[in-house]
Structure 1
Amino acid sequence: MLRAGDLVILTGGLGAGKTTLTQGIAEGLGVRGPITSPTFVIARVHPSLGSGPVLVHVDAYRLGGLEELDDLDLDTDLDRAVTIVEWGQGVAEGLAEDRLEIVLDGDPVRTATVHRHGPRWAGTEIEAALAGLEVAS
C-alpha cells in the first residue's frame, strides 16, 4: 500500500506504539533494520533489501518547528522514500499535501485513528489494510 513519496505522521504519547508501528511498516517494506526510535539522531535512512523504496524514519520530538525539520533536507528524500515522522503533528504537515496521519492511543485500550490528506489518499480503500483501526476522512 505504501510507496515511494508517501508521508506518514505518527502521533501519540510515550509508549503508544509509534516505533512499534514503524517496525511493522518497515518489515512490510522489506528494509534493512533494526528499526529503533531515532530520538537522539533525529533521522535514520533504512535502505531497501530488494527493489522497494527506502524508509526514512524521523523523530521530531526534539525539533523546535518546521525550520529545524527543513534543516534535515527531508524533501530531497521524499520522492524516493516512504517517510515516517514520529511526533510530527504540528511540525511535518508542510512536507507534503498527501499524507497519512495516524494518532495512536494506548489508554486504556490501544487504538489508532487514521486521517487521510490529499488526492493520493482520496477514495483509496485502505480500510481493508487497516482492519480494526478507525479511519477518518
Structure 2
Amino acid sequence: MVWEFATTTAEQTQLIAENLARLLRAGDLLVLSGELGAGKTTFTQGLGRSLGVRPGIISPTFVLVRIHPNLADGPNPGGPDLVHVDAYRLGTPAEIDDIDLENTMDSAITVVEWGADRVEHLAASRLEIELVRATGDVPRMPAEFTPADDGADDAGFDLDFDFDADSDDDDDEPRLLRLRAVGPRWDGVDLGGLANPLTAVE
C-alpha cells in the first residue's frame, strides 16, 4: 500500500513523522530516500521528538551512524532508541553489514537515509519513505569532500564540519511524501491519517 502526503512547511513534514512515531516499535526499519535537501533529516527530527529520544538529530553523513537513546524524562520513557544511519557513501548491502546494525535492530527503531537497495535485507518488513522537493536548487557535497575524508577522528567522534549533506535550508517549500509499507508488520495498518493533527494514532 502507498500513501502520499503534500506538505509546504517543515512543521507539516514533522507532524507526519510525529504521528508515524506513535505507531512504531522496536525492530521497525524506515528507509528514507530523496535528493539532497529533500527533508530526510527534517523528517527524522520530527520522528525523534515524538519518540522521546536525545535531541540534536542531524544527518550522520561523516560518521555513518548515530544512536539517540530514549530519555527517561522525555515524552515516551521506556521507549526504543533511535538509530540514525546515512548510507550515502555505502554502495552495497555488504558495506551496510560492516556497520553491524544487526546489534541494535531488535531493540531500536532504525532510520536509514539513502538506504534504498542497500538495507532491505535487514528486516522482513519496512517503511519506504520518499521525499520529493517540488522546486529549488539542490545542495551539493563540498568540492573538497572525498571518500577518504571521513569527517571523524580515530575514535569515531565528529570533527567540526558545518556542512550537512541533507541540509534542509528550504524546508518551507512544497514537498511530496510518498510512504510505502512493505511486509507483514504493516499488513492492515492504515497510515492515511498521518497528516491530520486531530487523528488519534494508536
Structure 1: any 5+ residue segments left out of the alignment? Answer: 132-137
Q: Deviations over 1:36-72 (max 9, x none)?
A: 0000000000100021100000000011211110011
- Following the alignment from structure 2 to structure 1, what is the Cα–Cα distance between the partners of residues 192 and 185? 15
- Following the alignment from structure 2 to structure 1, what is the Cα–Cα distance between the partners of residues 26 and 126? 12
Match of 2:183 in 1: 118
- Following the alignment from structure 1 to structure 2, what is the Cα–Cα distance between the partners of residues 120 and 129? 18
Q: Identity rate of aligned residues, in percent?
A: 53
Answer yes or no: is 1:86 the counterpart of 2:139: no
- Following the alignment from structure 1 to structure 2, what is the Cα–Cα distance between the partners of residues 123 and 61? 32
Shift, 1:130, TM fit: 4.2
Shift, 1:129, TM fit: 2.3
Kindly indicate whether structure 1 or structure 2 has the higher relative contact order, using CA contacts under 8 Å at least 6 residues apart: 2
Match of 2:58 in 1: 36
Match of 2:45 in 1: 23
SS at match of 1:23: helix
The structure number with the bigger radius of gyration is 2
Structure 1 ranges of 4+ moved more than 3 A: none
Answer yes or no: is 1:47 the counterpart of 2:112: no
Shift, 1:125, TM fit: 1.9
Structure having the higher strand fraction is 1
Structure 2: any 5+ residue segments left out of the alignment? Answer: 1-22, 72-76, 136-173, 197-202
- Following the alignment from structure 2 to structure 1, what is the Cα–Cα distance between the partners of residues 107 and 89? 25
Match of 2:36 in 1: 14
User: Alpha carbon RMSD of aligned pairs, Å?
Assistant: 1.3
Tell me the amino acid that sits aligned with residue 111 of structure 1. L
TM-score norm. by structure 2 comes to: 0.63
Match of 1:128 in 2: 193
